[in-house]
Structure 1
Amino acid sequence: MTEPKIGVVGIPGKWSTETLADALEARTGFRYIIDMADVCLDLTDRALWHKGVNLCELDGLIVKKISAEYSPHTLDRLEMLRVAEAEGVQVFSGAENIIRLVDRLSCTITLSNAGIPMPPTCVTEDHDAAFEAVKRFGSAVFKPLFSTKARGMCVLEATTSDANLRKGIEDFTVLNPVMYLQKKMDLSGQDLGMVFLAGNYLGTYARVSQSQSWNTTIESGGKYAPFEPTAELIDLAQRAQAPFGLDFTTVDVALTPDGPIVFEVSAFGGFKGALEGAGLEVAGLYADHAISKVTS
């Protein structure tokens, strides 16, 4: 059998995308990066074209990043990949599985239905209900339904004046008519990324805050660090990722005074945190996994 042709759906020039393409090239001699902004779906011919290449003729596609920022349009790009799947291309992770994670509410409801501990959460379009939730929580993080790395999030406090609190709610709903808000938890300055490949646990890294920011993201100055979880934490993350059936993911876990909670299961997972914080070269592991699937 000839070496498989597996493309990488991602963002050209970005470290994770390029690293994954490098790993595939080293193993198969084939290197191909696809920016979904340049893809054209022709349903008449059942073809998915990218710069003259029909992606439906590849053996596999690894989705490292579907777009630079999440939005409802991200779902449209994933729907296009379903055509490639129907034509026999193996997509990692499956398009429908990723779709269930890109929308924050879909991810949250799946986790809640599975009995996974999460921060107290309220979802509403009603301003009065949001106002009462902030008062009940004391402090709440308002999150867009489509975002990554804390983009578009804000914190509203119950201690502010009622007028300013209502103004903050109104400002948030200009771009987010459906409000998703969670009680702001005491994270003790860090949270965890717990890494899984094909449902198997690989390792854990911490994101440690280096500032007074309420979140620990690298964009807000956080740093990656090693972390050794307990068996109970590994079991929690294992149960959290299981309903989604992803080929690769990280589970975002936080340790609070009331016990561990899960924030989300990532649609794509972070390569850099795994490398810098846990010493895991997951690009190579992921490439090996995809190659074994398309050649079996």
Structure 2
Amino acid sequence: MKIGILVYSSQANLRSRWLPSDIKMLANAAKSQGHEVKIFRSSKCQLFYANSRMRVLYAGKKFPVIDMMIPRPTVLDNADLELTLNKHLLLMGIPMLNGYMPVLRAKNKIRMLQILTHKGIKVPKTVVLKRLEYMDDAIARVGGFPVIIKTPHGSFGKGVAIVESRRSLLSSLDILWAQSANRNLLIQEYVAESEGRDIRAFVVGNNVIASMERQSTEGDFRSNINNGGTGVSMELTAEEITLSLKATEALNLDISGVDILRTKNGPVVMEINANPGLEGITEVTGIDVAGAIIDFAVSKVKAAADHKALYPDEEPEEVSMQDEPNAVI
């Protein structure tokens, strides 16, 4: 089977011979199962429209025939614009893990909260506002200081701060607003009983395939492993497994990283990541997460209708492996 991996990393798009570790893990997992792998860098794709037809060019050539595309959308700003490529590929009939709209829902924290609460899924107390005059009321509604303040778009612990007093409030706001042109802010309760810990449940299809507890480092409330947090493998409760699967289904994602907080009133979903990291949870749990993603991708292709008829009449031109030195790893 021909599996494509779509890279959005800005570093990968600038450095022709460099790839993120998660891309290498996916490519190696696919190769070990006997599949052909092609790496696509988003910056090399051109969307082409003519009359009533649409195509994607890659490095100025016709797009290769592939059976499944696995995008890794490390996009924070202007996601609806940057991920138009994903939508274009879907409209061409290329099967894909995590569609265009599900990813956008997950990348917008406000939209994510709307969907989760509409589906009856518990989340931390949160107020969304734009004007400072409503800040005191918002802080009171979520339980008072300390509070977590977030921007609507952010990942890997970026765009989030803990505010422990009014004195530190304004400086935190200046920093967060400087990171985003959007004036919306999420004021969220700080769950003291979590003590800097959260749970990452990695969902593939209809299964939680791996889970770990993450602990923040001293002096930092963020538990992301990217920010120096540590992780240990753990077993989820039946309630936490159900919560993770329902949250993933609510956003219509194929794969996700569901972040859960254990509160005195039971588990709540803090966030859902549509592009969860692979390296940390693989190292912590010893589970072949990349291999599980490839297995699911293959099963999805087999369940899908034949998509090749949606390509142009002539056979698409293959991109030479020499054009993309890291196409197979």
* Same fold (TM > 0.5): yes
Structure with higher RCO (Cα < 8 A, 6+ apart):
2
Q: Residue 217 of structure 2: SS of its match in structure 1?
A: coil
TM-score for both structures, normalised by structure 1: 0.88
Could you list the structure 1 runs, at least 4 aligned residues long, displaced by more than 6 angstroms after superposition. none
Distance 1:280 1:105 in 2: 32
The separation in 2 between residues aligned to 1:107 and 1:77, in whole angstroms, is: 19
Query: Aligned equivalents of 2:244 and 2:115: distance in 1?
Result: 14
Partners of 1:254 and 1:261 within 8 A in 2: yes
Distance change (3 Å), C-alpha of 1:165 and 1:266: closer
2:33 aligned counterpart, secondary structure: helix
Q: 1:138 aligns with which of 132, 145, 148?
A: 145
My pick for the range that moved more, 20-29 or 229-238, is: 20-29
Write the distance in 2 (CA, Å) between the matches of 1:200 and 1:115: 20
Amino acid at match of 1:34: F
Pair 168,271 (structure 1): closer, same or farther in 2 beyond 3 Å: closer
User: Which runs of structure 2 are paired with 1:10-21 in the superposition (5 Å)?
Assistant: 10=7, 11=9, 12=12, 13-21=19-27
Distance 2:199 2:128 in 1: 25
After superposition, residues 57-206 of structure 1 pair within 5 angstroms as 57-63=65-71, 65-67=72-74, 69-72=75-78, 74-136=79-141, 137-157=144-164, 159-161=165-167, 165-166=169-170, 168-169=172-173, 172-174=176-178, 175=180, 176-186=182-192, 187-206=194-213
Q: Among 221, 234, 238, which residue is 2:228 paired with?
A: 221
Shift of 1:226: 1.0
CA pair 230-36 structure 1, distance change in 2 beyond 3 A: same
TM-score (norm 2): 0.80
Q: Which runs of 5+ in 1 are unaligned?
A: none
* AA partner of residue 25 (structure 2): T
Q: Any conservation in 1 of the 2:161–2:172 contact (CA below 8 Å)?
A: no
CA distance in 1, matches of 2:140, 2:175: 18
Q: 2:226 is paired with a residue of what secondary structure?
A: helix
Residue 56 of structure 1 and its aligned partner are, at CA, apart by 6.8
RMSD of aligned residue pairs (Cα, Å): 2.1
Distance 1:168 1:151, change over 3 A: closer
The residue identity in structure 1 corresponding to 2:4 is: G
Secondary structure of the 2:32 match is helix
1:229 alignment partner AA: L
* Corresponding residue of 2:273: 266
The answer to whether the Cα contact below 8 Å between 2:5 and 2:70 also exists between their aligned partners in 1 is yes
Structure 2: runs of 5+ lacking an equivalent: 13-18, 304-329
In structure 2, do the counterparts of structure 1 residues 172 and 131 end up closer, same or farther at CA, with 3 Å as the change threshold? Answer: farther
Deviation of the 1:28 alpha carbon: 3.9
Q: Does 1:257 align with 2:264?
A: yes
Which residues of 2 match residues 28-39 of structure 1 at below 5 A?
A: 28-39=34-45
Match of 1:49 in 2: 57
Letter in 1 for 2:160: M
SS in structure 1 at match of 2:149: strand
Change (3 A) 1:262 1:212: same
Question: Per the alignment, do residues 27 and 77 of structure 1 end up closer, same or farther by CA in structure 2, a change over 3 Å counting?
Answer: farther
Question: What is the one-letter code of the residue matched to 1:50?
Answer: Y
**Correspondence for 2:15:** none
Q: What one-letter code is carried by the residue in structure 2 that aligns with 1:255?
A: R
Q: Would the alpha carbon gap of residues 253 and 38 (structure 1) be closer, same or farther in structure 2, given more than 3 Å must change?
A: same
Rounded to whole Å, the distance in 1 between the matches of 2:92 and 2:176 is 42
Query: Conserved in 2, the CA contact under 8 Å of 1:271 and 1:283?
Result: yes
One-letter amino acid of the counterpart of residue 169, structure 2: L
Q: 1:112 to 1:75 in 2, by over 3 A?
A: same
CA distance in 1, matches of 2:92, 2:225: 39
> In structure 2, what residue type is equivalent to 1:173?
W
Percent identity reads: 23
Distance 2:249 2:271 in 1: 12
Check conservation: 2:210, 2:289, Cα contact below 8 A. no
CA contact 1:198–1:247 (8 Å) conserved in 2:
yes
Name the stretch that deviates more: 103-112 or 181-190: 181-190
Distance 1:257 1:26 in 2: 44
Contact (CA 8 Å) 2:248, 2:255: kept in 1 or not? Answer: no
Instruction: Check the 8 A contact 1:193/1:204 in 2, yes or no.
Output: yes
